[in-house]
Amino acid sequence: MNKTTMKVLISLTMTVAMAFIMLFPSNETTASANSSKYDSIYNVANSKLGTRYVYGSTGPSSFDCSGFVRYIFKHGANKHLPRTAQSQYNTTKKISKKQLKKGDLVFIGASTKSIYHVGMYIGNGEMIDAQNRGVVKESIHAPWWHVVGYTRAI
């Protein structure tokens, strides 16, 4: 094989390798990007702790639960979610409790067809959500909650 052919083959191989890396990033790269998005969303959510609850409100000075989740994802990750908790559940990727990670959504209701509350999981069995006490951090295992599902929005 002459030098020109060898250079072309090496160049072609490098181009294919780079395209493959761009199309299929490693889990580390994806995990890092998701962690960064979570941090951004969490920072927006955390900045709203104590903000008052108003049914139907979408922020920034008051929220209901789905308005809060919609706001923090829009401002923290430029991710647009539907307006209601039920619609947010219906349009995001369903996951199991075992797959639950920081940044995932926790849905409360009578069933998956009757969801009335949503919060964002922040780790250690806790979520941040907007409810009658305003925006708070609390256990997802509180006796007044009936968790019916989990989803991943990012």
Enzyme catalytic residues: 65, 117, 129
- Residue 72 tokens, joined: 């923090």
Q: Is 121 helix (H, G, I), strand (E, B) or coil?
A: strand
Instruction: Report the C-alpha gap between 93 and 41 in whole angstroms.
Output: 18
Token duo for residue 25: 């990033």
What are the backbone dihedrals phi and psi of residue 30, each rounded to the nearest 5 degrees, phi first?
A: -65, -45
Return the DSSP state at 92. S
